[in-house]
Amino acid sequence: MKVLKQFDADCSIGYCELLKRFSEIGMVARELGRAFSIMMNMFLDNECHTLLGVAGAAVASGLRPLITKLIRFGFVNTVVTTGANITHDVIEAIGGKHFVLEREEMDDVKLAKMGIYRIYNIGIMKESYIMLEKFIDETFRDVNGTFSSSDIIKMLASRIEDEKSFLRASYESGVEVFSPALADSIIGSQIRFRTGGKVKLDTLSDISKLVDRVWTSKRTGAIFLGGGTPKHFTMMAVNAADRPLSYAIQITTDREEHGGLSGARLEEAKSWGKVKVKGMIANVCLDMSVALPLLVLAFEEWMSQNTSETP
């Protein structure tokens, strides 16, 4: 056992030092500090294929530029995300906006009359979805056939000019983006209805595509922002490819007791052969909107100190 170090508050320290000090104290801070250490090991392992699983409403909550940075830094090789994050990334890219809702503004009946949809303390105007429909019409006007979610996402990304878009960043960087539950989202359903069924989704082909990507790598690592489909789809792929995770970070406030995958600790995945027995893991019980900014800021600081040029 090591002696716990009391946290020495010093406003002059950087983000890397902050997370190092987190790793030396107790509670959730230590696990977040450990997550950063694992993140660096993952990045420095040139034979590791790194997957980023993004659940929930990460983009709507304001984390979009951070996901984009991880892609542009070359940290991420593959992204697995929800249709919601695809939807909100496109909306931001075409000029739609998300708004902060104060507690006194969270009258849902009143918001409905105003044409504002609520996502906890975030609001988005109905007009943004009308803009999205127009974008879908223009993107798929001459498209006909059956495609994987990653193919459909590439079509969307190819028409995005916004530098802060994680879809554009992935398209330019050769990072494949999968959304196995794309149909369970506004953008998925609108692609179906607005194309009259001409554009069909083949989710099963996503499985073989992701397994093929993972199989060519010697080792794998993953960061899970939330759980849900992105976490399970990623875990299923590394298992099928016989490339269990050597590094894994999970950031979620979900619980394990109800038996759901989202809250299951990463240790549990070892019984399924999805995480290596001696794999480096961190279970961070924290809101991703708190954890991700700290991790990315520390990573960017490290990049600026250890490379001649930060992307």
d(CA 115, CA 194): 21
Does 276 participate in catalysis according to the annotation? no
Distance CA 70, CA 49 (A): 14
Nearest to 120 by CA among 134, 103, 133: 103
Q: Can you tell me the distance from the alpha carbon of 8 to that of 73, in angstroms, rounded to the nearest whole number?
A: 31
Residue 245 is encoded by which pair of tokens?
């995770």
Structure tokens at 36: 């950063």
Residue 152 and residue 87 in contact, taking contact as beta carbons nearer than 8 Å: no
- Pair 86, 132: CB distance under 8 Å: no
| Inter-CA distances, 106 with 88, 111, 122, Å | 20, 7, 9
Give me the catalytic one of 69, 209, 270, 274: 274
Instruction: Give the 3-state secondary structure of 67-114.
Output: HHHHHHCCCCCEEEECHHHHHHHHHHHCCCCEEECCHHHCCHHHHHHH
Cβ burial of 12 (10 Å; 0-12, 13-18, 19+) is: exposed
Tokens of 68: 């984009």
Tell me which residue of 189, 141, 163, 140 sits closest to 93, measured CA to CA: 163
Q: What is the crossing angle of helices 186-194 and 126-140, to 10°?
A: 50
Nearest one of 138, 132, 167, 159 to 54, comparing CA atoms: 167
Q: Which residues have a catalytic role annotated?
A: 274
